[in-house]
Amino acid sequence: MRKKSRYVITGPDIDLETEVVLDSDGRRIDRAYVDEVVDAAHAYLDQRAGRPSLTGKARHSPQVTFRVTPELKARAEAEAKARGTTVSQLAREAFERFFAS
């Protein structure tokens, strides 16, 4: 589901079938042009919508947030760097090991 646009288009409607409207490159804007531009904008927004879901499906992945001491954070960051991963991945693995036991 898309968020509502922050922008409001004002002004008279334009009949693209009868009026000649050109873009900045001199191309005529018609219904097919508008559909193509809108599809491209949606594709761009969809691909930058955030991190991929951990479920592998297009669903929101829940987050867990908690506080740690500066020392524990530094240790976690160092361990994650040594393993070539992220603190988030390290924490997920620790949670899984904890709940598997």
Domain residues for 77? 70-100
9 located within any domain: no
81 located within any domain: yes
83 located within any domain: yes
Q: What is the 3-state secondary structure (H, E, C) of 38-65?
A: HHHHHHHHHHCCCCCCCCCCCCCCCCCC
85 located within any domain: yes
**In this model, does residue 56 exceed pLDDT 80?**
no
- How confident is the model over 29-48, as pLDDT tens digits? 998 999 999 999 888 877 76
What pLDDT does 70 receive? 96
The whole-model pTM stands at 0.47
Distance separating alpha carbons of residues 100 and 94, to the nearest angstrom: 10
49 located within any domain: no
Who contacts 45 (Cβ-Cβ below 8 Å, separation ≥6)? 2
